[in-house]
C-alpha cells in the first residue's frame, strides 16, 4: 500500500459519522417523488437519526463517503497530500482500499480533482470547488451477511439508490451512483479449499470471498497445491464483477472462463434473503450470476469455483519494433493467422499489446508445458518475422507453479486507471477469411492513428469443449465460444483530462466498437471492458441471453433495488441529469 493510500484511509476512518451525517442532512426540500430514488436534499432523504440507527445496526461500519482529493480544497487543504495524489492519480493504488472512490475517471466527472483548487498549477483552475459528484454518500464495510442484509433492506425501505463497490475496477461506472448507499465488499477476503460433491461436479473446490483479489487468490491456491481461474490484473476482485461478467484470464484456454468454473454463489437478494445459488438451488439465479453481469441480480458475498491440481507452467515474452508500416502490419496479420494454429494447442494463451510500430507479446501461458512446447508453438511466427527481416527480443522459461509463473510475467506490470476502454470479440472465421482480415487490419490502423491509442489482442480458446459445458449452461454469450481473440482498444488519458475530453474519448471508443462490429456483425463484446452507452449493448453484451436475464431480474428484483447501466433491463429506469434515478 502506498503512503498516500495509508494516509487517506486514516482520514476517512476517523471521520465522525455523526458529523458527516449532519453535513448530508437536507437543507432545502426538493422532491418527495417516490418514483425516483431520493438524493441528499430531497424531502424523502433519510434523517440523521435514521442513518445513525443504520450505523448502530451494522456495528459502526457505516462510512461517510468523501472524494479522495478533498484534501486539496477548503480551509484544511493539505498541500503534501494533494501533491501525493497528483503523483498517484493515474495509479490504482489509492482507489483500491477506499469505500466510495473508483477506477473510472470518466464517471468521477472531475468533480473533485487534485489538479484543480488552490494547489493547481493552472491559475484558471485555482478557484474550482470540490463536490461529491457521482460518488456514493455512504458505504457499509460489508463483513458478513447480516451487514449486507441491513444495507439492502435500508436502501429498499428508504427508496435510495444502492451501489456495490469491491476493488473499484470498473470501466462502466457500475460501482458508483450519486447519493447511493454503497455496499463495500473489499474485505470479504476468505479463501478455503475443500472436496466438493454435487450432481454436476465432484472434486476440489475453492470458496472465495467477493473481495479476494486475483493475486491473493493465486497465492492462496498455490499454497494449497491448486490453480484456480482468475483474471490478468492482480488487484481485480476474483469473486466480484469479474466472474459475474464471464471473467477471462491466463488459465482460460485450459479451463474456460471464470463463469464456466462456478459451482455456487452465496448471495443476498433484493428482498434481504441470504441464499445459495447453484445448479440445484435457485438455479436460474445461479445461471444469471455466471456471466450475466454484476450488481444487478443480487449481492454476491462469496463464490465457490472448481480448483485444479497445480503443476509446472511454461511462459514466454516476445517483442519488436518496426518503423516500416507495411512490414509492421504484415507481421500483425501474420500473428492473427498464427493464432489459428495456437488455438489448437490445449491451454496455450497469449496477450499482445500493440501501439504504432510496437508489438509486445506480454506473456504466453501454457500450463503443464515445456520450453520446447512454447518454442514449437511460436516457431512458424518466428519464421514469418525472419522473412520480413524483423528482429525480436524474447524470453521463454518454465516455473514450478502457476503462481510463480504469474509473478514472473505479471509481477512487474504497472496497472493504471487512466485509460478508456472498448473491445470486440473477433471470431475465428473472420481471421480465416482474407478479405475480412484485411478489413480488420484497416480498422486497427485507423485506431492507432488516434493519439495515445493502443490495443491488446488477447487470445483464448474458450469453446464449450474446453469449458466442459454446453450451449446455454450459463449466461456467457455464445460469441465468446466462437472467438479467436478479444481485442481491447484503449485510449490513454491524461490524468488532468477534463470531463469534456474524457467524454470525447468515450465516444471515439464507441466508434471503434461499431467499426469492428461492421466487420464482425455476428459476434459480440465483453461487457466488463466496454463502453457504458454503446448503441448495440443488448445484442453485443448479452446477445441471446438478454430476454432470459431480464426475466430473472424481474423475478428476484422487481423493484430494481440493484441497478446499473448497462445491466440487463436497466432501461426500465432513467438516470436524470441531476443524478436522480427514476422509473420510466
3-class SS at 38? strand
Q: Taking a C-beta distance cutoff of 8 angstroms, is the pair 107, 565 a contact? A: no
pLDDT at 230 over 50: yes
The model's pTM is: 0.94
pLDDT digits (tens, 9 = 90+) for 525-572: 999 999 999 999 999 999 999 999 999 999 999 999 999 999 999 999
Which neighbouring-strand residues pair with 267? Answer: 275, 300
pLDDT at 18 over 50: no
Q: Which CATH architecture has domain 191-310?
A: 2-Layer Sandwich (3.30)
Where do you find CATH 3.40.462.20 in the chain?
313-537
Radius of gyration of the chain measured on its C-alpha atoms:
24
pLDDT at 28 over 70: no
Cell of 35: 418514483
In the sheet that holds 349-355, the strands lie side by side as 393-399, 313-321, 358-367, 349-355, 453-459, 483-492, 419-427
Four-way CATH pick for 313-537: 3.30.420.10, 3.40.462.20, 3.40.50.300, 3.40.50.2300: 3.40.462.20
| Gap between the Cα atoms of 236 and 242, Å rounded | 7
Give DSSP secondary structure letters for 43-92: TTSPPHHHHHHHHHHTTT-EEE---GGGGGSSTT--HHHHHHHHHHTTBS
pLDDT digits (tens, 9 = 90+) for 357-388: 999 999 999 999 999 999 999 999 999 999 99
Q: Is 413 exposed, middle or buried (0-12, 13-18, 19+ CB in 10 A)?
A: exposed
Q: What is the pLDDT of residue 30?
A: 55
| Gap between the Cα atoms of 237 and 510, Å rounded | 26
Please state whether beta strands 358-367 and 313-321 pair in parallel, antiparallel, or not at all (unpaired): antiparallel
pLDDT at 3 over 50: no
Contacts with 88 (C-beta within 8 Å, 6 or more apart), sequence order = 2, 4, 94
Which neighbouring-strand residues pair with 393? Answer: 319
Q: What is the pLDDT of residue 1?
A: 44
Cell of 556: 428476484
| Gap between the Cα atoms of 197 and 225, Å rounded | 19
Q: What is the pLDDT of residue 5?
A: 42
| Gap between the Cα atoms of 238 and 166, Å rounded | 10
Give DSSP secondary structure letters for 143-169: -SHHHHHHHHHHHHHTTB-EEEESS--
- Nearest CA to 350 out of 340, 361, 335, 359 is that of 361
Give the helix ranges, DSSP H, for 199-324.
Answer: 214-223, 241-244, 252-255, 283-289
Percentage of the chain lying above the pLDDT 90 cut: 88
pLDDT digits (tens, 9 = 90+) for 178-198: 999 999 999 999 999 999 999
Give DSSP secondary structure letters for 315-331: EEEEEEE---HHHHHHH
CB hemisphere CA count around 275 (13 angstroms): 20
pLDDT at 10 over 90: no
Cell of 561: 433495488
3-class SS at 202? strand
The CA-atom distances, in angstroms, between 41 and each of 27, 45, 160, 466, 583 are 6, 7, 12, 53, 19
pLDDT at 389 over 50: yes
Where do you find CATH 3.30.465.10 in the chain?
191-310
pLDDT digits (tens, 9 = 90+) for 287-298: 999 999 999 999
pLDDT digits (tens, 9 = 90+) for 415-467: 788 899 999 999 999 999 999 999 999 999 999 999 999 999 999 999 999 99
Give the largest CA-CA distance in the chain: 75
The CA-atom distances, in angstroms, between 438 and each of 34, 336, 344, 383, 518 are 54, 11, 23, 21, 13
| Average pLDDT score, the chain | 93
Amino acid at each position: 500500500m502506498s503512503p498516500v493510500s495509508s494516509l487517506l484511509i486514516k482520514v476517512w476512518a476517523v471521520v465522525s459519522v455523526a458529523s458527516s451525517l449532519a453535513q448530508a442532512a437536507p437543507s432545502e426540500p426538493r422532491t418527495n417523488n417516490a418514483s425516483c430514488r431520493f438524493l441528499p436534499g430531497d424531502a424523502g432523504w433519510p434523517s440523521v437519526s435514521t442513518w445513525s440507527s443504520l450505523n448502530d445496526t451494522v456495528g459502526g461500519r457505516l462510512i461517510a463517503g468523501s472524494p479522495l482529493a478533498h484534501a486539496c480544497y477548503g480551509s484544511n487543504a493539505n498541500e503534501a497530500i494533494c501533491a501525493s495524489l497528483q503523483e498517484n492519480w493515474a495509479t490504482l493504488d489509492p482507489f483500491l482500499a477506499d469505500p466510495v472512490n473508483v477506477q473510472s475517471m470518466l464517471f468521477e466527472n472531475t468533480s473533485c480533482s487534485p489538479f484543480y483548487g488552490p494547489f493547481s498549477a493552472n491559475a484558471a483552475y485555482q478557484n474550482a470547488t470540490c463536490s461529491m459528484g457521482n460518488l456514493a454518500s455512504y458505504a457499509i464495510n460489508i463483513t458478513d451477511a447480516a451487514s449486507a442484509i441491513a444495507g439492502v433492506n435500508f436502501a429498499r425501505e428508504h427508496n435510495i439508490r444502492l451501489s456495490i463497490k469491491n476493488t473499484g475496477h470498473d470501466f462502466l461506472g457500475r460501482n458508483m451512483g450519486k447519493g447511493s448507499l454503497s455496499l463495500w465488499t473489499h474485505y470479504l477476503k476468505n479463501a478455503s479449499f475443500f472436496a466438493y460433491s454435487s450432481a454436476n461436479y465432484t472434486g476440489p473446490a475453492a470458496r472465495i470471498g467477493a473481495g479476494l483479489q486475483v493475486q491473493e487468490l493465486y497465492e492462496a491456491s498455490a499454497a494449497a497445491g491448486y490453480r484456480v481461474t482468475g483474471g490478468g490484473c492482480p488487484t481485480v476482485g476474483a469473486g466480484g464483477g469479474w466472474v459475474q461478467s464471464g471473467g477471462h484470464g491466463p488459465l482460460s484456454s485450459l479451463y474456460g472462463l471464470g463463469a464456466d468454473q462456478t459451482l455456487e454463489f452465496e448471495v443476498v437478494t433484493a428482498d434481504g434473503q441470504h441464499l445459495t445459488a447453484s445448479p440445484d438451488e435457485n438455479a436460474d439465479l445461479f445461471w444469471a450470476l455466471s456471466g450475466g453481469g454484476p450488481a444487478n441480480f443480487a449481492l454476491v458475498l462469496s463464490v465457490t469455483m472448481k480448483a485444479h491440481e497445480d503443476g509446472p507452467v511454461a511462459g514466454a515474452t516476445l517483442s519488436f519494433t518496426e518503423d516500416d508500416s507495411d512490414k509492421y502490419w504484415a507481421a500483425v496479420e501474420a500473428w492473427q493467422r498464427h493464432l489459428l494454429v495456437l488455438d489448437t494447442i490445449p491451454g496455450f494463451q497469449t496477450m499482445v499489446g500493440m501501439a504504432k510500430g510496437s508489438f509486445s507479446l506480454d506473456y504466453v501461458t501454457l500450463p503443464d508445458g515445456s520450453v520446447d512446447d512454447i518454442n514449437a508453438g511460436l516457431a512458424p511466427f518466428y519464421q514469418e518475422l525472419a522473412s520480413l527481416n524483423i528482429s525480436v527480443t524474447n524470453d521463454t522459461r518454465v516455473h514450478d507453479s502457476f503462481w510463480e509463473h504469474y509473478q514472473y510475467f505479471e509481477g512487474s506490470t504497472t496497472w493504471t486507471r487512466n485509460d478508456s476502454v472498448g473491445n470486440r470479440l473477433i471470431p475465428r472465421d473472420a481471421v480465416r477469411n482474407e478479405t475480412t482480415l484485411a478489413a480488420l487490419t484497416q480498422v486497427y490502423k485507423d485506431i492507432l492513428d488516434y493519439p495515445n491509442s493502443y490495443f491488446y489482442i488477447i487470445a483464448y480458446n474458450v469453446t464449450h469443449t474446453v469449458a466442459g459445458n454446453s450451449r446455454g449452461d450459463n449466461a456467457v454469450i455464445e460469441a465468446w465460444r466462437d472467438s479467436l481473440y478479444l481485442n481491447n482498444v484503449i485510449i490513454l488519458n491524461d490524468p488532468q483530462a477534463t470531463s469534456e475530453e474524457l467524454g470525447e474519448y468515450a465516444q471515439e471508443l464507441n466508434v471503434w466498437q461499431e467499426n469492428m462490429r461492421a466487420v464482425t456483425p455476428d459476434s459480440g463484446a465483453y461487457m466488463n471492458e466496454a463502453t457504458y452507452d454503446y448503441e448495440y449493448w443488448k445484442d453485443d453484451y448479452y446477445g441471446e441471453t438478454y430476454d432470459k436475464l431480464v426475466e430473472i431480474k424481474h423475478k428476484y428484483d422487481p423493484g430494481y433495488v440493484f441497478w446499473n447501466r448497462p445491466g440487463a433491463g436497466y432501461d426500465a429506469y432513467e438516470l436524470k441529469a441531476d443524478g436522480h434515478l427514476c422509473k420510466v
